[in-house]
Homo-oligomer: A and B are copies of this chain.
Amino acid sequence: MRQIRIGLVGGGWMGHAHASAFQNALLAFGPEPAVPVFEAVCTLSSDPSQDVKDTFGFRRSTARWQDLVIDPDIDLVDIATPNSSHAGIALAAIANGKHVYCETPLARSVADSRSMAEAAEQANVVNLASYNYLRNPIQSLAKKLATPDRLGEIMSFRATFDQDVVLDPSFPFTWRMDRSVAGTGALGDMGSHAISLALMLVGPIHQVSGMVKTFVTERPTADGAATRRVENEDIAQFICEFKNGALGHFSASRLGTGRKLGLTYEIQGRNGAICFNQERMNELDFFRQDEPQEIRGYKTIYTGPEQPGYAAFHPIPGVALGFNDQKTLEVRELVKAIAESGPVLTDFRFGYEVDRVIEAVMQSVRSRGWVPLSEIE
């Protein structure tokens, strides 16, 4: 039986989630075409990696990712660390011929993202940027509907990603608010997911005009002993034009009062429209203009076995999937791609395209005008 030996970098919450996903992909889909092996785990700092090691039965652990990326017994390097370390680890892993799986956004800078994508392509290794919201089976339905045949010409795309988890100004400073570690704030951390959905469902973006703002400018440190300045934006938004002519709007807020995981979008085409809200991730709202007018209306479609991936979890429709199941489906795609040398939906090139949009928005903020994507390399 074919094995994929995993070297996990980052033993914190995200590392745990990745390892669980590998385990669950095996349970849901079985051992074909390959089984994951928990070979080694690396902790960068004070991550509770011992727990991850024991819980999943990793054979070894190390404190240096540099050791892990050259380990001949590792096939896949799984990067579940803060943004600033992604590029270094990924480039080293690729240089050693490893397949790579990386959390998003890929990097703090678009230059780093491009290097990662180019290196992975030249090395011909499987490379996957974790945009797991796209793996929700109901997004497959969205993709099938957001076509000229169904929605017709797309005229408008609006998306939000609001969360109020750090709304309280006494919520402590985290690495996500530190520009040197995270890069942008809400735009990269949350907006990137909205952008990833747009790129999949509508296509490339032509030009953007954006704005950002920080409302909570100081936060206490985790130990409560001091305060630190928040270095990146709490809220970002931009309007845009897609290459296909559609108008777009995106907003992302980590102070999104009243919203828990408010990743939403609405697509309006000439023949139909679609709405989605991650807080109700098992539903897609769909409107068909071609129905008789007297019974025309938005309908709510629940997730079900017709959507790729769902049937591995439940035999009947409407049985809720959870967030973790998205991650399981992403890992399943990764395992198949490695075993069968196939493509993935969100490779590093895709991650780079997302990061180009983020960079264009930030340039637009600085120049106070429209920035075409063609100016971003």
Please give the residue numbers on chain A whose beta carbons come within 8 Å of chain B beta carbons, in ascending order: 13, 19-20, 23-24, 26-28, 30-31, 51, 54-56, 141, 144-145, 153, 155-156, 158, 160, 162-165, 167, 209-211, 213, 215, 234-235, 237-239, 241, 245, 247, 249, 251, 253, 255-261, 268-273, 275, 278-282, 286-287, 289, 293-302, 304, 306-307, 313-325, 368-370
Contacts and interface: CB of A to CB of B under 8 A. Distances in A.
Give the 6 A-B residue pairs with the shortest CB-CB distance, closest first: A260-B318, A322-B322, A258-B287, A299-B299, A258-B273, A297-B301
B268 A162 contact: yes
Given A167-B289, A238-B239, A247-B237, A24 B24 contact: yes
A148 B370 CA distance: 34
Contacts of A281: 320
Given A155-B257, A215-B270, A286 B297 contact: yes
Given A209-B209, A239-B238, A320-B320, A253 B299 contact: no
A247 B261 contact: no
A293 B275 CA distance: 19
**Copies held by the complex:** 4
Contacts of A270: 167, 215, 255, 257
A268 B256 contact: yes
18 contacts: A19-B27, A23-B23, A24-B24, A31-B54, A141-B294, A145-B295, A213-B245, A238-B239, A239-B239, A249-B251, A257-B272, A258-B273, A258-B298, A260-B304, A280-B280, A286-B295, A286-B297, A322-B325
Given A27-B55, A167-B289, 10 more contacts: A213-B245, A215-B270, A238-B239, A257-B289, A258-B272, A258-B287, A279-B318, A294-B301, A297-B302, A322-B323
B31 A316 contact: no
B320 A323 contact: yes
Nearest to A305: B293
Contact of A295 (B289, B293, B301): B301
Contacts of A293: 304, 306
Contacts of A261: 316, 318-320
B368 A368 contact: no
A297 B306 CA distance: 14
Contact of A158 (B251, B258, B314, B316): B251
Given A251-B156, A293-B304, A300-B297, A163 B55 contact: no
A156 B302 contact: no
Contacts of A239: 209-211, 237-239, 249
Contacts of A318: 163, 259-261, 279
Nearest to A23: B27
